[in-house]
Every structure is written in structure tokens, then in C-alpha cells.
Structure 1
Amino acid sequence: MAETETKSGLNIRSAEKEDIPLIFEFVKGIAEFENLSHLVTATEETLEESMFGEKRYAEVFFAELNEVPVGFTVFFHNFSTFVGKQGLYIEDIFVKPGFRGKGIGKAMFMHCVKLAKERNCGRMEWAVLDWNPAREFYEYFGAGPVDGWHIYRMGADKFESALEK
């Protein structure tokens, strides 16, 4: 993924292995914003292995305003049997509070749309907390919640007990 100059002073660039501390800083920032800091168990080491190890499970890009990192996006590919194609799943889009309202989130979201189109994805998906005002932003572009579906999650701490049932 090459760098993309989006508008005056705003640049989108792919993360490099050397960016692991910055990625971790953004992970902690979004966790704090979502009031979920207590759930962060990631470390710089686990992020490095998952994003730059032998098998890469996620990709990251940064939004930089005048060469200062002000936002990041984490995404990965999933697969839809119904569509028969890969999809692009956005795990996180986060803009530092002091830089919101400047079109940075839009630029990062549009970068995801561009990547999904270039990679021939059948769809893009993501989850949004019910209180997050970003829901209106996504709906403006034509996205919406999926009626009749709920997100379920099983943490690694439940794997063993599930296997015993």
C-alpha cells in the first residue's frame, strides 16, 4: 500500500515494523476513548507478531497531518460464503481528539473504501458502539446496521471450558 496524499498537509501511509510503539499508543488511545482500557491485553510484542510476523493477520495505516501522526486504521480481510469473496473488516478507525472535525476520519474511511475496491472485496464491515456519534458519519455514506444480527464474542479465557462441553 503506497502513501496517499489526500489534501494539503494530510498524508495516509502504511505502517512499518518500526511503528509498533506508535500503533500501541493508538490502541491505548482508542481504548481510552471507548472507556475500555481495562480490556487491553495487547503488547508491543503481540502486535508485532500479528501485524509483521510470519503470517500477517492485520494491516495498519496512519493519517499524518503535516507529518504528525493524528489517526490510525486497523483492518483485515474476512470472507463471505454468501458473496463468495473476501471482505474488508475495519477493526479500528481512530483520530486523536484534538484533530477531529478536519476530514481526517473521512480520509481514512475513504482509503478503506478505495482498498476494498482495488482488492475486489465483496463488502466492508465494522462494528460501532451504540453511543458513538460516528454512526451518523457511516450512515451518511450509505452504511447501516445489519437488522437481525448481533455480534457475539468468545474470549480466549472461555476456549477451554467450551472444549470441555
Structure 2
Amino acid sequence: MQEIRLYIEKLSKENFDNFIDLRTKFIGSIGSDRTRLLDTTKINRLKDDAFSINPKYEAYLGKIGLDYVAYADFKISYSTLMALPSFFLDEIFVIDNFRNLGIGMTMFDFCIRKAKKKGCGKIELAVPNQNEKAKFFFESNGAVPIGMTYYQIDPLDIKIGKPLGKMTYADFMRKKSKSKLARLNSLAIDNIN
């Protein structure tokens, strides 16, 4: 049996097109809606965000021979609860022909080493409820479901206005100044009488 050697390399301008090819395969594999498809605008934004002075994400590509077969991407945020950095594993993807060969596990181990090296207090990831294979993979490798529901909001779809049933800070300040004014008026009337 021939040994498979997976080389993991950091996303660079030279391998960026390979990353986009892998992401396109990933999006196709999950049967995603049109909002997740990669267009020129998103590709340019991914490139700018990866190679800016303060990159918004990190990505690593797995390569066997000349073929790019996997990637993992993540972000570092901060946990005020732990007072430590937090590692958010966004995606690990292995193309179909190379699954069940230990590549996903190798990419996951790589991410764990990165989190430890960066001093992270926790590794977070989100798995779609219907992806039983991914849930099994992560749970059998030490991930524990934490009983939280993650939400996603598209800020372009939200109309910002007065919250229903709740007082805004501006409402509070108006009410407070009206109440002060009412007290001053009553004091003035009492002083006149």
C-alpha cells in the first residue's frame, strides 16, 4: 500500500485560485443557495481580506502531489468569558475522491495545533443540523455540543428602527427630561401658591 503524503500550505497569492476551486466544490457539495455562490465581487473580497495588513481569516490548503484536495479556514476572535483568544473553525473540506483517507483528520489536527500555538482558550465550530457525518466526526474527535443555537442575520435585510415593545436610549432620555420638566413645573406652581 502506498503512503499518502499530505502537504499543508498557507493560503498565498500563488495558490489562491486553487483555494477558490476548492471553495466552489465545497459550495456545490452542500447544495447551497445562490447567496453563497462565488462571484467576482466575493472572490476579490476574499482575496483582499486574506492578504490585507490585518487578515480577516486564515486558510490552509492540503495538497497531494500536484493536486489540491482539501482546505481549512478559521478566524481568531476573543472570549471575554475566558479572557483568551478564541479559535473559530469556519470550514474543513476534502474533495470527494479523497475522503475517508484521513485527510480531514489531518486538517483538523493541524487546526488544533494552530489554536494551541495561538494561545486560544477554546475552539468553536458550527455544523449544520442535517450534517450527521460532520457531527459524528467532530464529536468522535472531542467536540462537545454546547446546547446553543447560532443565528445568522443579513444586515442588509434588517430595517433599523425603533424596537417594538422596548424603550430605546433616546426614548428614555426624552421621558427623563419630560419628567424633570414636569417636576420643575410643579415646583414652580407650588412656589407661586
Q: Could you say which TM-score interval applies, normalised by the shorter chain?
A: 0.7 to 0.9
Checking the alignment, whether the CA contact within 8 Å between 2:76 and 2:87 is kept in structure 1 is: yes
The 5 A counterparts of 1:49-128 are 49-128=48-127
- Which letter maps to 2:129? D
Separation in 1 of the partners of 2:112 and 2:87?
9
Checking the alignment, whether the CA contact within 8 Å between 2:93 and 2:104 is kept in structure 1 is: yes
Separation in 2 of the partners of 1:65 and 1:51?
23
Structure with max Cα Rg? 2
2:17 maps to 21
Cα shift at 1:146: 1.1
- In terms of fraction of residues, the more strand-rich structure is 1
Cα shift at 1:8: 4.3
- Which letter maps to 1:36? S
Cα shift at 1:39: 2.0
Separation in 2 of the partners of 1:106 and 1:78?
23
**TM-score, scaled relative to structure 1:** 0.87
**TM-score, scaled relative to structure 2:** 0.75
How well do the aligned residues superpose, as a CA RMSD in angstroms?
1.6
2:178 maps to none
**Structure 1 unaligned spans of 5+:** 1-6
- Which letter maps to 2:28? E
1:3 maps to none
Checking the alignment, whether the CA contact within 8 Å between 2:90 and 2:126 is kept in structure 1 is: yes
How many residues were matched structurally?
Answer: 156
2:138 maps to 138
**Structure 2 unaligned spans of 5+:** 163-193
- In terms of fraction of residues, the more helix-rich structure is 2
